[in-house]
Amino acid sequence: MTYPRGVRRLLPSLLPGLVLTLAAPWAPVVLASGAPAEARAAGKIQSDLTGWTGEQLVDGRTAGTVVRQGRVFLKSPVTTTRVDGTTYDVGRWVSRWARPGFGFTELVASWEAKTPGDSMIEVEVRGRDASGRKSSWDSLGRWAYGDKYSERTSLGSQDDDLARVATDTWRTASSAGLERWRLRVSLLRRTGASTKPPSVGHVAATTSRRPSSSPATSKPGKVARAGGAVLDVPRYSQMVHEGHYPQWGNGGEAWCSPTSVSMVLGYYDALPKEKDHSWVPEGHTAPWVDHGARMTYDHGYDGTGNWSFNVAYAARLVGRADVSRLPDLRAVERLVADGVPVIISIAFGSGELSGAPISSSNGHLLVVVGFTASGDVVVNDGHGLYLTTEREFANYELLIDYKTVPKADSGIYLKGAPQVQIWDYTDPSKFGIGGNKGSGGLWNNSKGAKGKDPLVLADNKLALNCRR
């Protein structure tokens, strides 16, 4: 079965922004943006990713929590709090002070948590400057995997003392930055609830400092020298979801984050199970993208682009995910060489990025899936709807080779609409909507209109290999 795809494109001059890395036990996923701590030269991004996973969590301080089997569990609450009119029992885990080795100006947190029943977690950050002065505890958001009991949310701008919160990013007030940081994770369960307690298996933060000048474009590395390589990452389009679920962002332009995450989850064969997205009506293309948008939606930010919420969602499916910042595309290339696709955030003005499906963007996510022998970047861009030609044609013939499966229901979009229908013509459940007439009809045409139904039933009777 095939689905309308996002475009696979070459982007010749791409500089990395934030990067999303989903690190499963067998293979990682990355959401990234900049450089390691050793890159301290002028014009270089400085960054550091420090975290605690599994048994490393015993390194933190507990209050009303216990570290067991590599996870922090709520055990004996030390206080209560009110959230949206509901009282919750609270226990906490506090990391040690982390020191990246440079004056960082930004911090983004990552975590993996389980929130059964009416439970959630809240992640806060505190910093310390060179003089030893400490900031207040600033909240980076309240999070739960589902939305049955509560709305996951960032808590808006907190402009106090040494830093401020901008949705998912903690930014220092001074250009000198801060020297140290620590995280506090509060585990909350509704008072009186008998469900399993919430738990955390991984918590981390990426700190970074941007250079005073624009970094130079990196030269092609090991993948290019080896003749190039492209990972087999599935392509999904955010644009075919335009108008879907206004309560979770309305699809289209707004869903680049969950679409990119879904592509990488598909690469690791870790997409949510069918029962998890069974609430999406039949006929919706790639319903796991709708599910991803719902599970990453930040009600405080009013969108699906919260980096921490995206990696937390992914981590529930692959075991671990982190927001990182890489120094240049050479670092991305090394990950691709190891079989790891990288989700990156980019911003560009008009004319600055050749090959892009949009003219400009203040922030857009896509997946780096490979590099050519010349060093061009190969990406899966969820913003683009279709494979395109370099030239324009007034008329064309479409020849498609495809394989299908029992009860298949898919299609290929032509210039947005109509959809050339591909489905299992032997499935009785589709007879009422014309399934018995075969594949090849123009689904979006109105009933009785020319092309609505195929001219002949030409599907292979074994539904193994049809040629249209």
State which residues form the domain around 424: 391-468
Mean pLDDT across the stretch 453-459?
89
Ranges 16-20, 111-115, 175-179, 270-274: which has the least confidence:
16-20
> Do 202 and 58 lie in a common domain?
yes
> Do 171 and 233 lie in a common domain?
no
Does any domain span residue 29?
Answer: no
Banded model confidence at residue 31, pLDDT cuts 50, 70, 90 = low
Does any domain span residue 27?
Answer: no
> Do 100 and 67 lie in a common domain?
yes
SS (H, E, C) 450-461: CCCCCCCCCCCC
Say what the pLDDT of residue 416 is.
47
> Do 225 and 122 lie in a common domain?
no
CATH of the domain at 182: 2.60.120
Rounded CA separation 316/112 (Å): 6
Distances (CA, A) of 463 to 360, 405, 412, 419, 458: 43, 7, 17, 20, 10
The angle at the Cα of 153, spanning 238 to 72, to the nearest 5 degrees, equals 110
Q: Which residues pair with 79 in a beta bridge?
A: 90
User: pLDDT digits over 54-105, tens only?
Assistant: 999 999 999 999 999 999 999 999 999 999 999 999 999 999 999 999 999 9
> Do 248 and 161 lie in a common domain?
no
Q: Which of 209, 239, 267 is the last residue of a domain?
A: 209
Does any domain span residue 289?
Answer: yes
Does any domain span residue 196?
Answer: yes
Banded model confidence at residue 412, pLDDT cuts 50, 70, 90 = confident
Q: Which residues pair with 73 in a beta bridge?
A: 66, 199
> Do 332 and 436 lie in a common domain?
no
Distances (CA, A) of 221 to 23, 33, 277, 324, 330: 23, 18, 40, 20, 6
- In the chain, the percentage of residues whose pLDDT exceeds 70 is 84
> Do 259 and 166 lie in a common domain?
no
444-453: long-range pairs with CB below 8 Å, 24+: 444/417, 444/418, 444/419, 445/418, 451/418
> Do 194 and 231 lie in a common domain?
no
Say what the pLDDT of residue 280 is.
94
> Do 277 and 341 lie in a common domain?
yes
Helical ranges in 124-233 per DSSP H? 222-225
> Do 97 and 133 lie in a common domain?
yes
Asked whether residue 164 carries a pLDDT value surpassing 70, the answer given is yes
Distances (CA, A) of 212 to 46, 346, 348, 361, 363: 11, 18, 18, 22, 20
Q: Which of 358, 381, 404 is the last residue of a domain?
A: 381
Which bin fits 235, alpha (ψ -120 to 50), beta or left (φ > 0)?
beta
Banded model confidence at residue 218, pLDDT cuts 50, 70, 90 = confident
Does any domain span residue 423?
Answer: yes
Banded model confidence at residue 413, pLDDT cuts 50, 70, 90 = low
> Do 176 and 276 lie in a common domain?
no
Could you give the 3-state DSSP secondary structure of residue 193?
coil
Rounded CA separation 22/41 (Å): 29
> Do 119 and 141 lie in a common domain?
yes
User: pLDDT digits over 434-447, tens only?
Assistant: 889 999 888 767 77
Banded model confidence at residue 210, pLDDT cuts 50, 70, 90 = confident
Pairing of strands 199-209, 106-114: antiparallel
Does any domain span residue 175?
Answer: yes
Does any domain span residue 417?
Answer: yes
Could you give the 3-state DSSP secondary structure of residue 304?
coil
Q: Which of 381, 413, 431 is the last residue of a domain?
A: 381
Does any domain span residue 406?
Answer: yes
- In whole numbers, what is the pLDDT of the chain averaged over residues? 84
Number of domains the chain is built from: 3
Mean pLDDT across the stretch 127-154?
96
